[in-house]
Amino acid sequence: MITNLFSAFDPATSQNLSVNWIRTFIGLILLPIPYWILSNRINIIIKNIIITLHTEFKLLLNINSIGLTTLFIALFIFILINNIIGLLPYVFTRSSHIVFTLSLALPLWIRLILFGWINKTQIIFAHLIPSGTPIILIPFIVCIETIRNIIRPGALAVRLIANIIAGHLLITLLGNRATRAGIAASVLILIQIFLIIFETAVAIIQAYVFSVLRTLYTREVIYENSQ
């Protein structure tokens, strides 16, 4: 029995030794290693996923940059592993914490902003004013575009947190209810199974959405700087 519904999202579960943040990288250890001369089925599946993501990210970026696509593929896999591990019982979900999500979104956003300001300052500032904007609306449009660019990392972080926490809270509420439901416990357990399957799909989708949005934000700066 938990005293607080949100205590499941508290990383400080132990005052002596807390390994919740250390377990963030446990998924990287569990990745299949090519022990065999021929690739096994898991390696083939992972390679096909990476090739598909590389092709899609390359189309989104509109440039053939193996380095950038590799970065976003690694970002997708890292978030996906932590989302999936967070579905296991008694495991702290790192992607439900603002420290985790903001540390992924903020450095990439700062890198893009600095890259744009240093290389093509005039184009970046001109991008704040869409073509055809009336002169009287220019100050307001500049403020809106500036705020939109500033809140991007926060929006990415909050989007991932909100979607992960929502499903976990529902599973927790139904789990507490099932212990006191009697005959209806079997129905609640069946509902929880479907919820876990649904949350697995959400974990995959949210990792993909985070990476795709990060790719689109990168394309804006790269496209403007390639003109």
152-192 confidence digits (pLDDT tens): 888 888 888 888 888 878 877 776 666 665 656 677 778 87
Q: Is pLDDT of 119 > 80? A: no
Cα dihedral 198, 200, 201, 203 sign: positive
Among the residue ranges 4-13, 143-152, 212-221, the one predicted with the least confidence is: 4-13
Q: Which residue has the higher pLDDT, 106 or 5?
A: 106
pLDDT tens digits for 5-47? 666 666 665 555 566 666 677 666 666 555 555 667 777 788 8
| DSSP-assigned letters across all residues of the chain | --SSGGGGG-S---SS---TTGGGGHHHHTSPP--SSS--HHHHHHHHHHHHHHHHHHHHHTS--HHHHHHHHHHHHHHHHHHHHTTSTT---GGGSHHHHHHHHHHHHHHHHHHHHHH-HHHHHHTTS-TT--GGGHHHHHHHHHHHHHTHHHHHHHHHHHHHHHHHHHHHHHHHHHTT-GGGHHHHHHHHHHHHHHHHHHHHHHHHHHHHHHHHHHHHHHHHHT-
CA dist., res. 144 & res. 175, Å (int): 44
* pTM score: 0.74
Containing structural domain, residue 126: 5-225
What pLDDT sits at residue 32?
57
- Counted residue by residue, the chain has a size of 227
State how many domains the chain has: 1
What pLDDT sits at residue 64?
72
